[in-house]
């Protein structure tokens, strides 16, 4: 600790680096829900033109990995009504 203090050149560079890392994460987190919301709306609009399903039985999840991110869409379709094509209006 004392050695660290001896060679200390000011703490501003540490503050700057911490902020840059933190804000990079927070900005991604902020933009994510919106992107998911838009994807959800548009995917459901397309599917509902062809298949009847309940909107609250739909799960959309996004995983951000280091090299690849995945978008997982899970739609529960009730048996029987499954593939009845909704009439195009």
Partner 1 sequence: MAQVLVVTSGKGGVGKTTSTAALGAALAHDGEKVVVIDFDVGLRNLDLVMGAERRVVFDLINVIHGVAKLHQALIRDKRLENLCLLPASQTRDKDALTEEGVAAVIAELRTKFDWIICDSPAGIERGATLAMRHADAAIIVTNPEVSSVRDSDRIIGLLDSKTAKAERGERVEKHLLITRYHSSRAARGEMLSIDDVLEILSTPLLGIIPESEEVLRASNIGSPVTLCNALSAPARAYFDAARRLKGDKVPMIVPSDNRGIFNKLFGRKAA
- Interface residues toward partner 1, by CB under 8 A: 9-13, 15-16, 18-20, 22-23, 26-27, 30
Helix, coil or strand: residue 49: coil
12 or 83: whose CB is closer to partner 1? 12
What is the nearest approach in angstroms of partner 1 to the Cβ of residue 81? 38
What is the nearest approach in angstroms of partner 1 to the Cβ of residue 89? 30
Cα–Cα dist 17/8, whole Å = 16
Structure tokens at 78: 């009730």
Helix, coil or strand: residue 78: coil
DSSP conformational letter for 67? S
What is the nearest approach in angstroms of partner 1 to the Cβ of residue 83? 39
């Amino acid at each position: 600790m004392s050695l660290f203090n001896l060679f200390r050149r000011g703490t501003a560079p540490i503050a700057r680096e911490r902020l840059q890392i933190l804000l990079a994460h927070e900005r991604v987190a902020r933009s994510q829900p919106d992107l998911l919301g838009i994807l959800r709306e548009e995917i459901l609009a397309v599917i509902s033109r062809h298949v009847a399903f309940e909107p609250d039985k739909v799960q959309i999840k996004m995983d951000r990995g280091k090299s690849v991110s995945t978008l997982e869409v899970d739609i529960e379709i009730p048996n029987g009504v499954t593939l009845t094509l909704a009439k195009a209006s």
